[in-house]
Amino acid sequence: MKKKDISSRRDFLKIAAIGTAALGLGSVSNVFASSSDPAIKESIPSFGFENEEPTGNQSVMGLACEPLDKVRIAIIGIGMRGSEAVERLLQIEGVQLTVLCDLVPDFVKKANQKIQEAGHPAAAIYTGIDDWMKICEREDVDLVYNCTPWDLHTPIAVYAMKHGKHAAIEVPAAISIEECWQLVNTSEETRRHCMMLENCCYDFFELATLNMARQGVFGEILHAEGAYIHDLREWKFLELKDGGYYNHWRLEFSKKHNGNLYPTHGLGPIAQIMGINRGDRFDYLTSMSTKQAGISLYAAQKFGPDSPEAHQTYLLGDMNTTLIRTVNGRTLKIQHDTTSPRPYDRIHLISGTKGMARKYPQQAIALEPSSERFMKPEELDALLQKYEHPLARQIGEKARLVGGHGGMDYIMDYRLIYCLRKGLPLDQDVYDAAAWSSIVYLSEKSVTDKSNSVRVPDFTRGAWVSAAPWPVVEIE
């Protein structure tokens, strides 16, 4: 192996080790830069505005790369999301799963069995703690599909792009402003795609409202709302063998951070509809959290009032509400709550000068001249059928059969592979990954500063002004 490769690995491991030391964790897979730790906080740019200056790199807005006849994929992280990705990708033409990686050997073994049962050659397997670097260096990988814990999303994506690979990252793509800029700068330097796998952009109602928005049904959209309200109290404490998170990494974030830790499920679809980074962009935000109560109450009930779990300090407020204002004077409200006894809810509310739509708790649309009431069921069904998105019409039936959150995961994967094989720009680019993910850090910064407003960096460095909003795409 070349010395420069070893040096590069050591640099990455050195960065990761900082987070490990801060948390007292023994695994690089659980590293994250805790903004509540003063030593780490000093090393992370507060806003990242200095990075808005031109670098000399060409923008990757609308980036189109060489077509790939076959997309050779390495999946890193074969837990809940990774194992499901294996099953979906096997259903898509032009895919070859060449590498699987996870720290739990049994996960890799079961995934490899599925690959072979589908009639494909067995994938190479890796189970070492830093094997993701070796994978990124392989010659038989075109796309690194990253389903690891949040702390490894950016390091793996950056290393993959630097070794000529496209990167697909589970959400959020980054957990600090520094990491957001690392993704942007590396994609621009290497001319490689970096897509955050925001599956909710491909859900059927979200796609329909996107089509309606592009057709002017809602008029000028001035406000939108999204959320991730999902009771995860049980999941955070579950052991890995019972389906929980590796080393309880999600619970660790609840101990160390207070903000919107998971903004993109609610934010991504409405940001695309509003043309964020393409004709408009986030300007500034303000964020506020309730006190923490839900995790402690759950821990006391499950483990006993005198248990270590019940006496643990958890920083994450039960409900976080973040308000974002755009440069063009529009607003977005994003909420996060993973500890309250509430039904699942992403809200998905669109409000314009001609009407509105909302997905939860049930699909509802109101339009002028009858905007004082919601449409009757038969009216709503007719409207949704009229504005059914081409992707839903073309592959929606198979998507529902393959599954993945009702089919939206399959549509996302299908469209990603389709664009790579056709040499087309991706539906979500690195600027989306950075802007949407930046809310993680910026919301916490606002919360800790008594909800004072915080400016959002322009990750496009001005390219948003002339960029066209994401169109209503189709497949051949």
Domain ranges across the chain? 201-465
How much is the pLDDT for 168? 98
Most distant CA atoms of the chain, gap in Å: 70
CA distances from 158 to 9, 17, 180, 186, 368 (A): 12, 17, 10, 6, 48
Please, which contacts does 86-91 make with residues 24 or more away whose CB atoms are closer than 8 Å?
A: 86/111, 86/114, 86/115, 87/114, 87/402, 88/402, 88/403, 88/404, 88/409, 88/410, 88/413, 89/145, 89/413, 89/417, 90/114, 90/115, 90/118, 90/120, 91/398, 91/402, 91/410
How much is the pLDDT for 52? 86
CA distances from 371 to 49, 367, 383, 431 (A): 42, 5, 15, 35
How much is the pLDDT for 24? 29
Contact 40, 19 (CB under 8 A): yes
User: pTM higher than 0.85, yes or no?
Assistant: yes
Single out the residue of 23, 152, 18 nearest to residue 81, CA to CA. Answer: 152
Token pair belonging to 136? 């990124």
- Write the DSSP symbol of residue 54: -
If you count them, how many residues does the chain have? 476
* CATH of region 201-465: 3.30.360.10
Please, which contacts does 365-372 make with residues 24 or more away whose CB atoms are closer than 8 Å?
A: 367/217, 367/218
CA-based end-to-end distance of the chain: 43
Contact 150, 81 (CB under 8 A): no
Beta strands in 343-398 (DSSP E): 349-352, 355-358, 364-367
For the chain (476 residues), the mean pLDDT of every run of 10, in chain order, is 43 43 29 33 49 89 98 97 97 98 98 98 97 98 98 98 98 98 98 98 98 98 98 96 94 98 98 98 98 98 98 98 98 98 98 98 97 97 98 98 96 98 98 98 98 98 97 94
